[in-house]
Structure 1
Amino acid sequence: MGRYGRVRRPIRPLVAAGIALAVVIIGAVAVASWPGPEAEADAQGDGAKSGASRAAASPATGTEPEPEPGTTRSPEEPKTKPTPKPTTSADVPVSGPGTFTTAQSQGDPVGSGPPRRYSVQVENGVDVSAADAAGEIEKILAHPQGWAAHGRGSFQLVSSGADFVIRIATPATADKLCLAQGLNTRGELNCETVDGVVVNLRRWVLGSPQFDGEPSEYRHLIINHEVGHEIGLRQHLGCGGPGKLAPVMMQQIKGLDGCRSNAWPYDKDGTYVDGPGL
């Protein structure tokens, strides 16, 4: 067999044992490193999951982890605001306590003519801010198409010592205040009293179905109409003709008679919007 035969025989079992040991070690390493079904599924996700895994494994630093090379962060979804629900008559309280909060506001005089100081009050328990209402009314009376701009009066918002008061009241309270002057407002209308103006909350919030415009525009008509009475225009006016602007002293809530709804005493050219007396 040759002198090397006896040397080869003991080597074979050692080689076989070594190979077997290597197979066992490789198999153990493979089993230990195989991720298993759950980890495998997670690894098939997008790059954001990989970034989240890294962030969880690394200590918190207060900064966002950098994206993997070749990837970009998705922009954050914009937060959408819910669409406001339209206000309906069911949202306007029918009655209130009959007490009022006076806006603690002081404005500068606007316009020319007899000085008139006014304060604004809102009935307690309603969802209208006295300060906000006062600011809105102040802008209405200072408008270029309003009474102040054409010499019919100088108006100043005050919190005390007013010549007249503008009150925004629930329908039941408005009816009570107006009925004291012999006026039946039927839970729907505004009126002028001996000490000022009463604005029906329903009209302030909802406007009028006869008026072609937003409730905020109808408020202009309310104030201009009632303040018109306050400065001495006692008579209501009618429509001056089909297609013409309705006079601000017309009771537009009762119908337009062919006129176009209008919230201002004067048109854009400074002409008084007139009509036949009623």
Structure 2
Amino acid sequence: MSRAGGRTAVLVLMMLLAGCGPVGDPTVAGPAAVPVSPSASPEAAGTPVRKAPRIRYPERGGGRFRTAAAQRPAPPRGTVLRYRVQVEKDITGVSTAGFAAAVQRTLEDPRGWSAGGVRQLRRVGPGDRYDFTIFLVTPRTRDELCQDVPDGYTSCRNGARVVLNVARWAHGVPHYRAPLAVYRQYMVNHEVGHRLGHGHERCPGRGEPAPVMQQQTLGLHGCTANPWPYRDGERYAGRPGSYDDEVPSS
């Protein structure tokens, strides 16, 4: 061995004895060896964060639908109304099962239309007998199903059709001042309320909760957002009437 090679070998031996190791040695403390706290965020842990997919839809869909499966059977109570859920096939970013689950949670909430056990709203599946259908549709399919003044903006109830506009489901309305999830609850309860025979109501006073049958999509008119027909176990209603003389009906 040459004198230079001998010096190199001695230097390597001294480094190993001093505890130095090659890059990537698990005994070496460094950023890669620092344990991640259980409370650290997924980003800090290097775990990809799954974001809710963006809801996408054309202005005019093809009028073909996916039907949600029936919910698990439950003992009947009160008057049972059966509804099916259909989502237009052109809509992506929201699954039929996911939309149906959101509708079911809203309708079965203790503050919803099933309050007090007077009625039960039960979701049925393809081929089952039903009393009405809750649709999630594109704006122009909304106009075709509602058969009213076409606006591509609002939702509606037309006979046994409860028609929810995906544009509102995806984006809400700018003046609502409440989370999108709250507005979606309002959409469901307002249009199903029409199917149950309830007409429009007006804001009872500035600063008061809006009745669910108020046209909250078109404005709160001094009231605050409220998606529920029952408050403190009692039916909450406002003054009869609508804002049809001010803005188009919803």
TM-score (norm 1): 0.71
**Partner SS state of residue 240, structure 2:** coil
Task: Give the helix-richer structure, 1 or 2.
Answer: 1
Aligned counterpart for 2:35 among listed residues 75, 84, 87: 75
Distance in 2 between residues matched to 1:137 and 1:119, nearest whole Å: 10
Relative distance call for 1:202 and 1:152 in structure 2 (3 A) is farther
Is structure 2 residue 3 aligned with structure 1 residue 30? yes
- Kept after mapping to 2: 8 A contact 1:141/1:224: yes
Q: CA deviation at 1:105?
A: 2.4
- Within the candidate set 219, 222, 246, 2:210 is matched to 246
Q: Which residue of 1 aligns with 2:120?
A: 154
1:171-216 Cα deviation digits (max 9, x unpaired): 111111112xxx1241111111222201100111212223222222
How far the C-alpha of 1:87 sits from its partner, in A, is 5.2
Cα distance change, pair 111–266 in 1 and its aligned pair in 2 (3 A):
farther
Deviation at 1:262, TM superposition (A): 0.4
Q: Which runs of 5+ in 1 are unaligned?
A: 1-27, 53-64
**Higher-RCO chain (CA-CA 8 Å, sequence separation at least 6):** 2
Are positions 1:165 and 2:133 aligned together?
Answer: yes
Q: Distance in 1 between matches of 2:49 and 2:20?
A: 29
Deviations 1:206-257 (A, max 9, x none): 1222322222211111111111111111x21000011111000000111111
1:6-55, CA deviations, whole angstroms, 9 ceiling, x for partnerless residues?
xxxxxxxxxxxxxxxxxxxxxx63222455xxx99xx8xxx886154xxx
Query: Quick one: which of 123, 128, 131 aligns to 2:88?
Result: 123
The letter for the 2-side match of 1:129 is S
Equivalents in 2 of 1:85, 1:115: separation in Å? Answer: 34
TM-score, normalization: structure 2? 0.78
- 1:181-200 alignment to 2 at 5 Å? 183-200=148-165
What is the match of residue 20 of structure 1? none
Unaligned runs of 5+ in 2: 37-43, 242-250
Match of 1:221 among 186, 202, 208: 186
Q: Note if contact 2:107-2:113 (Cα within 8 Å) is conserved in structure 1.
A: yes
Change (3 A) 1:67 1:191: same
Larger radius of gyration: 1
Contact 1:102 1:121 in 2 (8 A): yes
Q: Is the 8 A contact 2:111 2:228 kept in 1?
A: yes
Q: Distance in 2 between matches of 1:210 and 1:92?
A: 23
1:191 and 1:48 map into 2 onto residues whose CA distance is: 73
Quote the Cα distance in structure 1 between the aligned partners of 2:137 and 2:157: 13
Which whole-Å CA distance do the structure 1 matches of 2:71 and 2:52 have between them? 33
Percent identity, aligned pairs only, is: 35
